[in-house]
Chains A and B, each alone.
Chain A
Amino acid sequence: MGSVISCNDVSIRYITGDLKAIGLKEYVMRRITGNYKVREFWADKHVTFSLESGDMLGIIGTNGAGKSTLLKAISGIMEPKEGTISVNGRIAALLELASGFDGDMTVKENAYLRGAMLGYTRAFMDEMYEEIIAFAELEDFQDRPFRQLSSGMKSRLGFAICCMVDPDIIILDEVLAVGDGAFRKKSGDKMREILNSGVTGILVSHSIDQVKELCNKVLWLDKGDQIVFSSDVNKVCDAYSEYLISKTLPASSEDIDNMASEYGKRVAEEKAKKDKKETKKLEGILAKGTKNTAIEAALDIIENNAPEMLDMHEVGEWRRKNKG
Chain B
Amino acid sequence: MGTAIKSAKRSLSRFASNRFLFEELVKRDFEHKYKRTILGMAWSVLSPLLTLLVMKLVFTEFFGRTTPHYTIYLFAGNIIMAYFKEATNNGMTSMISNASVINKINVPKYLFLFSKNVSSLVNFGLTLVVFFVFCIIDHITFRVSFLMLIYPILCLVIMNLGIGMILSALYVFFRDVKYLYSVFLTLLTYVSAIFYTVDRFPESVQRLFLLNPVYVMIKYVRMIVIDGTVPSLRYHALCLLYAALFALTGAFFYKRYNRKFVYYF
**Is B105 within 8 A of A116, CB to CB?**
no
0/1 string, B17-35, CB within 8 A of A gives 1? 1001101110110011001
Neighbouring A residues of B101 by C-beta, 8 Å = 100, 117
Residue of A nearest to B19 (CB): A122
**Is A79 within 8 A of B259, CB to CB?**
yes
**Is A77 within 8 A of B21, CB to CB?**
no
| Known A75-B106, A104-B32; contact A116-B24, beta-carbon cutoff 8 A | yes
Neighbouring B residues of A91 by C-beta, 8 Å = 106
| Known A24-B174, A109-B31; contact A15-B100, beta-carbon cutoff 8 A | no
Q: Does A20 contact B (CB under 8 A)?
A: yes
Min CB distance A167 to B, Å, is: 13
* Overall SS of chain A's interface: mixed
Q: Does B199 contact A (CB under 8 A)?
A: no
- Option from A25, A95, A109, A119 in Cβ contact (under 8 Å) with B104: A95
Tell me, in angstroms, the Cα distance from A104 to B33 when the chains sit together. 11
Q: Does A244 contact B (CB under 8 A)?
A: no
Neighbouring B residues of A122 by C-beta, 8 Å = 20, 23
**Is A99 within 8 A of B100, CB to CB?**
yes
- Chain A, 3-26, CB within 8 A of any chain B CB: 14-15, 19-20, 23-25
**Is A93 within 8 A of B106, CB to CB?**
yes
Neighbouring A residues of B106 by C-beta, 8 Å = 75-77, 91, 93
Interface size bracket, B side:
20 to 34
Min CB distance A171 to B, Å, is: 11
Q: Does A131 contact B (CB under 8 A)?
A: no
| Known A93-B106, A112-B24; contact A23-B100, beta-carbon cutoff 8 A | no
Residue of B nearest to A158 (CB): B104
**Is A113 within 8 A of B35, CB to CB?**
no
Min CB distance B34 to A, Å, is: 11
**Is A105 within 8 A of B104, CB to CB?**
no
- Chain A, 87-128, CB within 8 A of any chain B CB: 91, 93, 95-96, 99-100, 102, 104-105, 109, 112-113, 116-122, 125
- Chain B, 86-107, CB within 8 A of any chain A CB: 100-107
**Is B174 within 8 A of A23, CB to CB?**
yes
Neighbouring A residues of B174 by C-beta, 8 Å = 19-20, 23-24, 27
Neighbouring B residues of A19 by C-beta, 8 Å = 173-174
Min CB distance A102 to B, Å, is: 6
Residue of B nearest to A22 (CB): B174
Residue of B nearest to A122 (CB): B20
Min CB distance A55 to B, Å, is: 21
**Is A25 within 8 A of B176, CB to CB?**
yes
Tell me, in angstroms, the Cα distance from A119 to B19 when the chains sit together. 10
Tell me, in angstroms, the Cα distance from A100 to B105 when the chains sit together. 9
**Is A104 within 8 A of B21, CB to CB?**
no
Min CB distance B48 to A, Å, is: 25
**Is A15 within 8 A of B104, CB to CB?**
no
Tell me, in angstroms, the Cα distance from A79 to B258 when the chains sit together. 11
- Option from B28, B107, B180, B262 in Cβ contact (under 8 Å) with A102: B28
Tell me, in angstroms, the Cα distance from A19 to B173 when the chains sit together. 7
Residue of A nearest to B260 (CB): A79
Tell me, in angstroms, the Cα distance from A15 to B102 when the chains sit together. 18
Q: Does A298 contact B (CB under 8 A)?
A: no
Residues of B within 8 A of A (CB): 17, 20-21, 23-25, 27-28, 31-32, 35, 100-107, 172-177, 180, 259, 262-264
6 cross-chain pairs, A with B, having the tightest CB-CB distances, nearest first: A116-B21, A24-B176, A76-B106, A100-B101, A116-B24, A20-B264
| 7 new A-B contacts at CB < 8 Å, known A95-B105, A105-B28 | A14-B263, A24-B177, A77-B102, A99-B100, A99-B104, A116-B20, A120-B20
Q: List 28 A-B contacts (CB under 8 A).
A: A15-B263, A20-B172, A20-B173, A23-B174, A24-B174, A24-B177, A24-B180, A75-B106, A77-B102, A77-B103, A78-B262, A78-B263, A93-B105, A95-B104, A96-B104, A99-B104, A104-B31, A104-B32, A104-B35, A109-B31, A113-B21, A113-B25, A117-B21, A117-B105, A117-B107, A118-B105, A122-B20, A122-B23
